Amino acid sequence: MPNIKLTIQYEGTNYIGWQKQLKGDSIQGEIERAIKCITGEEVNLIASGRTDSGVHALGQVANFLTNSFIPPDKFKYALNTKLPEDISIIESEEVPCDFHARYDAIGKKYMYLIYNNPIRNPIYRRFVYHVPYPLNYKNMKEGAKYVIGTHDFSAFMASNSNVRSTVRTISNAYLSKKNELILFKIEGNGFLYNMVRIIVGTLIEIGQGKLKPCDISHIIESKNRNLAGPTAPPQGLFLERVYY
């Protein structure tokens, strides 16, 4: 039974998130519906991981098993005709039957966009966190470095999360700037629930002068969620790439 891997882009604004739930439209639900439309099959679409409501993806990965005779590379075109405009399959290919989008992922890359200007921008609004007060970019850039490495990131995990291990390895984390747009990119072998958004919320507190760059280290050591910054809002976050 062919195993199809999809690479997916979406704007998360109008969805409750990746995962199907009792109420509301989900990305998973929309794609499973499109697959049913073209193959007649009810599949279980497995993603690399969930994304929250409002979070976007440039390269989410998911897989499903099918008996359909549609050539694997044609799935993307067929599915796109059945999907809403805010979801797009950019790649479809056959993978070995034991490929599992979640278990086989060895790393992920996220991007977070901050628009730092006293006045909001209507063109960017769905894709950035608008921070109207001045931010010390240099200090934020310095702070991001302290995230890199293998650490217990409990302090940067939404409370009430339940995972076996809270240790993750961040291989890269850096800021860059284009006019009023601050880009944060982070790469690692895995991320705890809300981890990127809490790191961003903490970097913003550094940018405001509420925290020093090196405080990131102390917060990591403390394993105390209350010492980290608030969870930055979802619309600035993009799942950029999943590594296998």
- For the chain, the maximum distance between any two Cα atoms, rounded to a whole number of angstroms, is 59
Least spacing, CB of residue 153 vs a second copy, in Å: 28
Are 190 and 107 contacting, i.e. CB atoms less than 8 angstroms apart?
A: yes
Least spacing, CB of residue 117 vs a second copy, in Å: 9
Are 228 and 147 contacting, i.e. CB atoms less than 8 angstroms apart?
A: no
Nearer to a second copy, 88 or 189 (CB): 88
Would you name the residues annotated as active-site residues? 52
Least spacing, CB of residue 220 vs a second copy, in Å: 32
> DSSP of 73-105, one letter per residue?
GGHHHHHHHHS-TTEEEEEEEEE-TT--TTTT-
110 is in an annotated binding site: yes
Least spacing, CB of residue 10 vs a second copy, in Å: 5
Are 210 and 227 contacting, i.e. CB atoms less than 8 angstroms apart?
A: no
Closest C-alpha among 69, 66, 76 to residue 4: 66
Nearer to a second copy, 88 or 166 (CB): 88
**Angle at 114 (CA atoms; ends 61, 7), nearest 5 degrees:** 10
Nearer to a second copy, 48 or 60 (CB): 60
Nearer to a second copy, 97 or 123 (CB): 123
**Which positions lie near a second copy, rule CB under 8 A?**
9-11, 56, 58, 76, 80, 85-90, 119-123, 125, 127
What distances in angstroms separate CA 83 from CA 56, 78, 80, 232, 241, one per listed residue?
A: 16, 9, 5, 29, 21
Residue numbers in the known binding site are: 110
Residue numbers in the known binding site for substrate are: 110
